Structure 1
Amino acid sequence: MDFEIRKVRSPQGRKKLSAERAAYFQLMQQGVSNEDACRIVGVNSKTGRRWRNGRRPSGRNKAAPPVRPVVPFSASSTRCLSQDERIYIADRIREKAPVRAIAAELGRSPSTISREIRRNRTTGTTGQWRYRPYAAQARADSRRPRSKPRKIHRIPELRDFVQAGLDRRWSPEQICHALKSQFPDRPEMHVVHETVYQALYVQGRGELRRELARALRSGRTRRKPQRQTRSRQPRFRDPMVMISERPAEAEDRAVPGHWEGDLIIGKDGASAIGTLVERATRYVMLLHLPDGRSAEHVRDALVDTVRTLPGHLVRSLTWDQGAEMATHKSFSIATDVPVYFCDPASPWQRGSNENTNGLLRQYFPKGTDLSVHTREHLEAVAAELNGRPRKTLGWETPAERLHKLLTA
C-alpha cells in the first residue's frame, strides 16, 4: 500500500485558496488578464470572476460579495474624485461591474459614480459610449475653476431691477415673479429667489450689513441655521398629542369650537400676551398675563378664559411646542379640553393664529413692554378686531358669525 490512511477522519471541507487569491489579485493589478491569471494561479476562470464581481444566488449557491484588495488610495479623503479613482472606475466598467459594487469598493456614494460616468463619458458617432479616465479627468478639471461671477453681477440690468425691488421693500420672491412677468421672453433675466438671497448674504459683510438689514424684511444679515427636527428631545414631562391626531372636523373649519393659541412676546422676553383664535369664526380672545408667562400663569389664564365660553364652543386647543404649555395636562383635566401640538417649525399649522398675531402687532409693537396693558385694554383691542369685516367670512365680522352660532 503506497499511501497512508488519514488518522483524523473528520471532514476537511473545501480547500482554502487564500494564497491563490492574493496571487490572483496581484497579477490582475499588474495588467494580466483574467484567464492568464487563473491559469498561472491554478484556479478556474469562473472562480476569478467570482472573486472580482461576486456571485448572485442561484440554486444551491448562496450569494457571495466581491472580494477586492484594499484600495491603494484614500477614496473619501477629498470631495472630488481623483485620477486614480477614475482609472479604477474605467477598469471595473470594462469588467462589467455594477455601479453599486464600484461605489462600495471606492467608499463613495452610488450616485457619485453614476453621475461621474454620465457626465464625463465619451460618446462615439454610433451612439455607443466609453468611459476614458484621462479624458474624464480633463473634463472635470475644465469645469473646476472658481469662482464664477454670479448672474446678478454679470447682468447690470438684472442687478438694477433687483436693487430697485429691494429699495421698495419687496421680498426676493416678489422680485423674481416680477422679473418673469416683465421679461417673459428673456430667460437671462429670470432668477429664483435663492439666487437673490445668496447674492445678498455673500455681499453682506462689514458696512453692507446695515444696508442688508434694511433690504430684507427679516432684518437678518446672515443665514439662520435650521435645526434637525427629528433630533429634538421630548419637550414636556407629559407626552404631547400631535396635530395629526386632531379630529378631522377641526381641519375643515365646519364645526366651531376649535381654537388656536400662542403668545406674543414683549421687550427682552419679559412680558407677553396670550392670543386665542377660533378657527371657524376667527373670533379673538386675549389672555392677560401681568405676572409673567410661566407655564402656571398661562394655564391659569387659559382656564379662566375657557370657562367663560359655552361648552359646545370649546372642543380643542392647538398650540405650538412652547415651554408655556408644559402644564397642558393639568389644563385638560381642569377644562376637559384636549390640547394638540403643532410639529416643530411649522407655523402654518396654526395659520389663523399667526395671521391674528400679525394684526395685533399694530396695537402691540415688537420691542415694547406688554405688561403695561390692562385687562380692559386687551378686551377693547379684541373687540375692535372682532368687529372688523373679514373677507374669509364673506365680509361678516367674527362677532356677527359667533353671535349666529350662539343664537342657533
Structure 2
Amino acid sequence: MTGPWFGVSVPGTRWKAAGIAPVSADVRAQRRRSRPQQHRIDAVPALRARVRADLWASRTPRQIAGRLRVEVRNGCVGLMENSPTAEGLTVSHEAIYRWIYAHPKGELAREGILLRSKQTRRKRRVPPGERTGGRIIGMVSIDDRPEAASDRRVPGAWEGDLIIGAHGSTAAVTLVERHSRYVIILGLPEGKNADGVADVLIDRVSDLPKHLRGSLTWDQGTEMARHAQLTLATELPVYFAHPRSPWERPSNENTNGLIREYLPKGTEITSHQPYLDAIADELNNRPRQTLGFYTPKEIFQQLLTKPVVATTN
C-alpha cells in the first residue's frame, strides 16, 4: 500500500499485510547478543594454540598478527621459538584483543598469560659519572663517531648502558645492536665498577665476528673508565653520548624499558647469567613491527654470516 501523493510506503502497512509484527532494532540486537557466538580463534584449535603460546611468550597482539602475515607471505620464514604452527591462518590484532577481553577477568593471568601494560615515562637515571663528578680520561665524543655508526642499515653499531638494582648495589650491562635490535644482558658478579664492566664486556664482545664490532656508544658513566682497554682487547671503539642525552642511544633506552618488565625498579638484579640470558632470549624472539615482524634473533643470525642485510629502513 502506498500513500496517495508521493508513492511512499506507509509505515507498518507492509508488516501488517504479511501478518508480521514489526520488531524494534533494540529487540533484534538484544536477541543477537543473547545467542552464544564462538570466537574465530576458539573455533580453530591451531590458531588458538598459536595465539595462546605467543601471548604466554609476552608477544603483543600486534606482534602476533604481524608475524602470522609474514609467515603466510614468505614460505621461507620458519616458526619462532616456542610458537606452534597456525597452519597458514592469520588473524588481526583487533580480533586478538576482542578474544582476550571476552575471557572472564583474571582467567588468562591464572594461566600465566600476563598482558604487557603501557610503559610509564621513566625518570632519567643520572649516570654514575655525573653523580660523582668523575671524569673519563681519553673519552671520544659521539660527535666524532663515524657516519656509518649512525646508520641503522650498517650492522655492528651497539648502544650500551647499565640497569641499576635496588639501592644502587647491583647492576647489569645491556647492549643493543642498532640494526637488528638484538639485545645482550650481562651480569656483573664483580660489581658495577669499571674493572667489572670492562671484564664482562671484553669476554662477550670478543665472541662477536669482527664485522659486528663496529662501535659502542655509552653514556658518560665512570663504569666505562676502562674503555681504552676494551678497545685494545676487542677492536671495538667506544664513543660517549652527551650528558643528559638519552635520545642519543634510543635503541638502548627503549630496550631497557622492556627489560624492566622482568627486572622492575627497586629490585635486586641478579648476576646469574642463565637467568639474564633467558630474559634476552625472550626479547630477541619478539617480532618487531620496525623489522617487518621478523625477530631480532632472526635478523642477527643473518648478520653473523652476512656483513650487510637491508631489512630495516
Q: TM-score, normalised by structure 1?
A: 0.42
1:386 and 2:299 correspond = no
State the structure with bigger RCO (CA 8 A, min sep 6), 1 or 2.
2
Query: Partner of 1:261: helix, strand, or coil?
Result: strand
Quick one: which amino acid aligns to residue 236 of structure 2? Answer: V
In structure 1, the partner of 2:211 is 312
C-alpha separation in 1, matches of 2:151 and 2:122 = 35
In structure 2, the partner of 1:118 is none
Given candidates 272, 287, 299, the residue that maps to 1:374 is 272
Which aligned pairs between 1:93-132 and structure 2 lie closer than 5 A? none
1:322 and 2:259 correspond = no
- 5+ residue gaps, structure 2, are 1-119, 127-131, 307-313
Q: Check the 8 A contact 2:213/2:235 in 1, yes or no.
A: no
1:300 and 2:182 correspond = no
Identical-pair percentage: 54
Cα deviation for residue 406 of structure 1 reads 2.4
Given candidates 359, 384, 406, the residue that maps to 2:258 is 359
C-alpha separation in 2, matches of 1:270 and 1:395 = 37
1:257 and 2:123 correspond = no
1:240 and 2:174 correspond = no
C-alpha separation in 2, matches of 1:405 and 1:346 = 29
Q: Give the aligned CA root-mean-square deviation in angstroms.
A: 2.2
In structure 2, the partner of 1:270 is 169
**TM superposition outliers: structure 1 runs of 4+ over 3 Å:** 217-220
In structure 2, the partner of 1:406 is 304
* Gap change, CA 1:218 and 1:400, over 3 Å in 2: closer
Cα deviation for residue 251 of structure 1 reads 1.2
Quick one: which amino acid aligns to residue 240 of structure 1? Answer: M
Q: TM-score, normalised by structure 2?
A: 0.55
Cα deviation for residue 270 of structure 1 reads 0.1
Which aligned pairs between 1:70-109 and structure 2 lie closer than 5 A? none
Cα deviation for residue 219 of structure 1 reads 9.6
Quick one: which amino acid aligns to residue 388 of structure 1? Answer: R
C-alpha separation in 2, matches of 1:345 and 1:367 = 22
C-alpha separation in 2, matches of 1:290 and 1:318 = 23
In structure 1, the partner of 2:241 is 342
C-alpha separation in 2, matches of 1:289 and 1:407 = 29
The Cα offsets for residues 275-331 of structure 1, whole Å up to 9 and x where unpaired, read as 000010000011110221000000000000101111111111000001101111111
Query: Partner of 2:161: helix, strand, or coil?
Result: strand
In structure 2, the partner of 1:283 is 182
In structure 2, the partner of 1:128 is none
Larger Rg: 1
Cα deviation for residue 218 of structure 1 reads 6.6
The Cα offsets for residues 83-127 of structure 1, whole Å up to 9 and x where unpaired, read as xxxxxxxxxxxxxxxxxxxxxxxxxxxxxxxxxxxxxxxxxxxxx
Cα deviation for residue 396 of structure 1 reads 0.7
Quick one: which amino acid aligns to residue 310 of structure 1? Answer: P
Query: Partner of 1:275: helix, strand, or coil?
Result: strand
C-alpha separation in 2, matches of 1:302 and 1:288 = 10
Quick one: which amino acid aligns to residue 241 of structure 1? Answer: V
In structure 2, the partner of 1:69 is none
